[in-house]
Amino acid sequence: MDPTTTADPPKGAARAAERRGYGVSTERSEGGSRGSSGRPGVPVVARRRSSWRERVHTTLELIRANPTGRITLKIFIAIAGAIVVTVGIALIPLPGPGWLLVIAGLGIWAVEYHWARRLLGFTRRHVHAWTRWATSRSLPVRIVLGAVGLVFVAVVVWLSLKYSLGIDLVARALHYLATH
pLDDT tens, residue by residue, 138-153: 999 999 998 998 898 7
Residues 88 and 99: beta-carbon distance below 8 Å: yes
What pLDDT, on the 0 to 100 scale, is given for residue 55? 85
Q: What is the pLDDT along the chain (180 residues), one digit of tens a residue?
A: 444 444 444 566 556 666 666 655 555 444 444 444 445 554 545 455 558 888 888 888 888 888 888 899 999 999 999 999 999 888 877 767 888 999 999 999 999 899 999 999 999 999 899 889 988 999 999 999 989 988 987 887 788 788 878 888 888 888 888 888
For residue 75, give Cα distances in angstroms to 46, 69, 110, 175: 33, 10, 13, 53
What pLDDT, on the 0 to 100 scale, is given for residue 144? 93
CA distance 84 to 90: 10
pLDDT in tens, 121-139: 999 999 899 889 988 999 9
What pLDDT, on the 0 to 100 scale, is given for residue 34? 46
| Phi, psi (degrees; rounded to nearest 5) at 25 | -105, 125
Say if residue 38 is exposed, middle or buried (CB neighbours under 10 Å; 0-12, 13-18, 19+): exposed
CA distance 150 to 157: 10
